[in-house]
Amino acid sequence: MFSEMLESAIDTLSKVLDPNGPAQAATASSFTPTDFSVHFFLQLAIIILTCRIVGKLGQKFLGQPQVVGEMIAGVILGPSLFGYFFADAQAAVFPGPTKNVLYSGAQLGVGLYMFLVGTTLQLDHFKSKAKSAISVSLAGIVVPFLIAIWLTPWLLTVPGLFTPGISQSSATLFMGACIALTAFPMLARIINERGLAKTALGTLSLAAGAFDDAVSWCVLAVVLATFGAGPGVAVLAIGGGLLYATFIILFGRKIFAPLGRIVEREGEMSMTVLGITIAAFCLSAFIMDAVGIHAIFGGFILGVVMPRGLFVEELKKKVEPLAVVLLLPMFFTYSGLNTRMDMVNTIPLLLIALVILAGSIVAKFGACYVAARVAGEDNRTALGIGALMNSRGLMELIIINIGLQKGIIGPTLFSMLVLMAIVTTMMASPLFELVYGRKARETGELRALGKKDAALAD
């Protein structure tokens, strides 16, 4: 009797990571709640450890910030490396149905992080740099779409890059949105880790990046509308997003000011105030997600109008470690699970990928640098802005995943755009240090800021 029980227990344990987990035979065709739980905790442990290890290695040997290491870790855990060499193990740890759970955690992590970033935005810096921010934003939108107008007709002649039958206008709009994107969450992490969160340069870059990404998402909504979703998708995304952003900017500070006064009066943030704050964040993220923009913009714009002072200090103390260490890595891993790097496998395709990469760098780094100079920024600051705005990161992976899922692009163009995203992101930190950071640290203007912010982000 005991041996049978032991044998049964061992047999059940051996099926823990089967495609359907240790589900009962009657429900073996689908995951049970327990199956999701079993996979989720193992996935989370692997994700956290991999992100921390790869992040540290990237910092030590490549001079990259922790966030870039986490992006690479996400790709490593996907089919490009882990799944390529250990397909069965990767499929067992990350079976398809569990991606939905990771997706929700990923949105919570990146949205919460951008909420915290919004609380550090210095509006007085933005007002003083409004001319530069507007110039950089417009250049970061207009030039990428001009590059897309030049590139797309050629790309349409190459079989397999776009879905057959796609119109040139839709293909051009999609390419323009992809090139115009700035890695808003990653830009925020780099700015925090480099000690720029409270500087005019950091505020200007964040404001310009937020605007460019919002426009790109609106353009994507227009493209999706042409693919059968209907014009309502674009109207809801653009109209709903603008209405909500206007409401929050006009009335948000007055609405949430009492929370700041309560924290100042009590000398700390109570669990009740924290609960109200997190609920407000979730509602804001929901609204922007529901209208078709993205949850991160809901989090960011709400953070901008939250009370400053002790309120922000307490909020970051209670929320930031959990968001950065536990939740945000799920965002990188989820995108990495949808990424393949073995699709660009011929010389002609590699040349196309290099042209897309070069055009993307010119469209963001070059255009934003020129715009900042024209707006009156000094050469070093303009170069720093160009270096930061050129990073695409995982926002690029999100938008091109949508393009792949909706049948706008094929797997080959998808892989080319992934390559562009990774290269431009890895360029950002060393290029920024070369043109701006190194000199700033020598003069001491970043050193005092950098230690505190880097420690928080680490």
* Model pLDDT for residues 390-400, shown as the tens digit of each residue: 888 767 877 78
Inside any domain, residue 393: yes
Inside any domain, residue 458: no
What total number of domains does the chain contain? 1
At residue 122, the 3 state secondary structure works out as coil
Q: Look at residue 335 in the predicted model and tell me its pLDDT.
A: 74
Contact 77, 45 (CB under 8 A): no
- Closest residue by Cα to residue 292 from 134, 378, 406: 406
Contact 171, 258 (CB under 8 A): no
The pairs formed by 372-377 with CB atoms below 8 angstroms and a separation of 24 or more are 372/132, 372/135, 372/136, 374/135, 375/131, 375/132, 375/135, 375/136, 376/131, 376/132, 377/132
Q: Look at residue 448 in the predicted model and tell me its pLDDT.
A: 43
Q: Look at residue 125 in the predicted model and tell me its pLDDT.
A: 55
R_g over Cα of the chain = 23
Question: Percentage of the chain surpassing pLDDT 90?
Answer: 23
Q: How far apart are CA 234 and CA 236, in angstroms?
A: 5
Q: 405: buried, middle or exposed (CB in 10 Å: 19+, 13-18, 0-12)?
A: exposed
Name residue 435's amino acid. V
Residue 274 structural domain: 104-453
Using 50 as the pLDDT threshold, list the residues of the chain that sit under it. 24-27, 448-458
Contact 152, 387 (CB under 8 A): no
Q: How far apart are CA 242 and CA 288, in angstroms?
A: 10
HSE on the CB side for 431, CA within 13 Å?
A: 21
Contact 248, 302 (CB under 8 A): yes
Inside any domain, residue 248: yes
Inside any domain, residue 49: no
Q: Look at residue 196 in the predicted model and tell me its pLDDT.
A: 74
Q: Look at residue 358 in the predicted model and tell me its pLDDT.
A: 94
CATH number at residue 180: 1.20.1530.20
Q: Look at residue 451 in the predicted model and tell me its pLDDT.
A: 42
Contact 427, 105 (CB under 8 A): no
- Closest residue by Cα to residue 211 from 100, 278, 112, 301: 301
Inside any domain, residue 22: no
Inside any domain, residue 149: yes
- Closest residue by Cα to residue 77 from 54, 104, 107: 54
Contact 164, 409 (CB under 8 A): no
Name residue 177's amino acid. A
Contact 257, 307 (CB under 8 A): yes
Cβ–Cβ contacts within 10 Å for residue 153, how many?
Answer: 11
Q: How far apart are CA 429 and CA 370, in angstroms?
A: 20
Inside any domain, residue 5: no
Inside any domain, residue 14: no
186 Cβ contact partners less than 8 Å away, ≥ 6 residues apart:
67, 68, 71, 391, 393, 394, 395, 425, 428
Q: How far apart are CA 3 and CA 356, in angstroms?
A: 63
Q: How far apart are CA 39 and CA 333, in angstroms?
A: 14
Contact 425, 392 (CB under 8 A): yes
